[in-house]
Structure 1
Amino acid sequence: MAAAQHPPRKGGPNTASKAGAWTIWLTVGLVVAGCVGVGIVNGGGDSDKVSPPTAQERDDTVAVLARSSASQGVCYGWELKDYFGYGDPVSVGSNLGNGVAVEDNPSCPRWLQVSVRIYYPSESSDSDDNAYVDVNGSSDFSSTELLRIANGLERLGVTEKVFVDDPGWAATRAAVMLPLLAVEAGAVEPAATPAPAAAQPSPLPDPGSDLWRDRWGYLLAAGGLLLVTALLITVGVVQRRRQRRGVVPAQRAGAATAASRTPENA
């Protein structure tokens, strides 16, 4: 009799190895997903977000830079970025307006720009917050001049701590200081100060009449004589009136005495 043949058993060594591989890959996937989720949660907080300048700060900065650019012939601007950010910067602007950069701008053959990158590490990191500040410019500005301008920002109070605490305000504040620091570094000529208008000379006094200028002594003497004469005449008139007042009462008294005499009294 032929020996009975048994069917092959299911679930051999190949099946067990495949199950183990799937388990390993599933574990790795869960670990990676957990790390990504933690990174998203830690990176999505408001405390790690680079704050842009306010609308008022941007408008005021554009107005100041426009005046400086018109007087010095140099375009000035700012650029604020997140160290981990990609794509558009957090804020950019210049004397040409908010959102308009000066770098590679055909309207700005000469330009200076303060570039700021803010580094906010995750809460689980041991790194500190940092701000990386650079001053860039067109090719006619030397690296020494750009370095002097960048170092001047901290001297004027815009320090790394200020950039970390309030990036938007600090970036616009640094942009406003660029014209002054560029003049101090000798990279830009100071703005021309308009000369005050020449004052009109005061008119000469009226020379007057030659008669009064040449004969003023005689005229003064004549006026004095007239004044004395008028005074004497006035005194004479007053005395004459007093004399007449004294004579009239005397005459009236004599007339009354004569009238009182009657023929009988006579």
Structure 2
Amino acid sequence: MLGGLGVVAVIGLCALAGVFGASDSGTDVPAPVTDERAATVSILQRAADSQGICYGWKLLDWTNPTDAGSNLGEGVAVNTDPRCPRYVEVVANIRYTSESSEASDSAEIHVEGSSDFGDADLSAMASGLARFGLDEDAFIDDPGWAVTRAATTLPLLAAEAGLVEPAPTPTAAPAGSPSPLPAAGNDFWRDRWGGLLAAVGLFLLAALLVAVGVVQRRRQRRVAVPAQRAGASTAQSRTREKA
């Protein structure tokens, strides 16, 4: 009897552990997907090359690091890398609460930077994220997408704050030197090409009419000759009968 109760107790504890484990997993903050990270790194690389400043992002699950990246690559933070003496990064701290909790989900978003950037400028950049629809609700709904999207807006916000020069607009370089224009030709024919075409057209039309007239004339002759021959034979037969 005691052995059976022990088995039931163990099963019950395992079931409770599974329930609480599933509940805890529902509060985990999802990281950006692979495509989002790769696209963001590519955009930040171009901005860093043109503006001379590093850009990055950090995603925290209530102070626990979840994801990071920058123009240096996925998983590379800019605030500790010696290759980035000047940097700006967006930091999003997300907290999901369980369904049984009365507290609501929350998100704290701010922009951090190297020591040469003032707190007022960094705060203005963080406030500017809302213009792109990156408010607290967006970070709670999809933290991974929101934090990478926010990172791509940092170059524009930094330029608006006067911290860096605007990124140049890419322009397509000419494929090669333009080919020379063809020779101008004779002005006499250039000014009279319309009349020349009209004369050629009339000449061709006249030739066509002459050819048609010749063909019709030949056909008329072929029809008239047999008729004359038939009339001559009839007259000869009548002469013979009279004789």
Change beyond 3 A, Cα 1:222–1:125: closer
What is the deviation of 1:174? 1.5
Q: Which residue of structure 2 lines up, in the alignment, with residue 64 of structure 1?
A: 43
Alignment partner of 2:122 out of 142, 146, 162: 146
Residue identity over aligned pairs, in percent, reads 38
Deviation at 1:229, TM superposition (A): 6.0
Distance in structure 2 (CA, Å) of the matches to 1:70 and 1:248? 104
Contact 2:56 2:69 in 1 (8 A): yes
Q: Is the alpha carbon distance of 1:246 and 1:177 closer, same or farther for their aligned partners in structure 2, counting shifts above 3 Å?
A: same
Q: Tell whether the 8 Å contact from 2:26 to 2:98 is kept in structure 1 after alignment.
A: no
Residues 1:136 and 2:117 are matched in the alignment: no
Matched residue, 2:83:
107
1:10-41 per-position Cα deviation (integer Å, ceiling 9, x unaligned): xxxxxxxxxxxxxxxxxxxxxxxxxxxxxxx9
* Partners of 1:95 and 1:68 in 2: CA distance: 8
Query: Equivalents in 1 of 2:98, 2:220: separation in Å?
Result: 119
Correspondence for 1:256: 237
1:54 aligns with 2:18: no
Distance 1:238 1:55 in 2: 87
Residue in 2 aligned with 1:190? 167
1:168 aligns with 2:138: no
Question: What is residue 81 of structure 1 aligned with on the other side?
Answer: 60
Q: How much has 1:83 moved relative to structure 2? A: 3.8
Aligned positions, number: 218
- Superposed CA RMSD in Å reads 4.4
Change (3 A) 1:224 1:100: closer
In 2, distance between residues paired with 1:203 and 1:229?
43
Distance (Å, rounded) in 1 between the aligned partners of 2:174 and 2:55: 31
CA contact (8 A) 1:114 1:175 kept: yes
Return the alpha-carbon distance in structure 1 between the equivalents of residues 100 and 204 of structure 2. 108
CA separation in 2, counterparts of 1:71 and 1:218? Answer: 64
- Runs of at least 5 residues in structure 2 that lack an aligned partner in the other structure: 1-19
Q: Highest CA radius of gyration, 1 or 2?
A: 1
* Ranges in structure 1 where 5+ consecutive residues have no aligned partner: 1-40
Equivalents in 2 of 1:83, 1:220: separation in Å?
88
Alpha-carbon distance in structure 1 between the residues aligned to 2:221 and 2:99? 121
* Counterparts of 2:104 and 2:208, CA distance in 1: 102
With normalisation by structure 1, the TM-score equals 0.60
SS in 2 for 1:45: helix
What amino acid does structure 1 have at the position aligned with 2:139?
A: F
Name the SS for the 1:106 alignment partner: coil
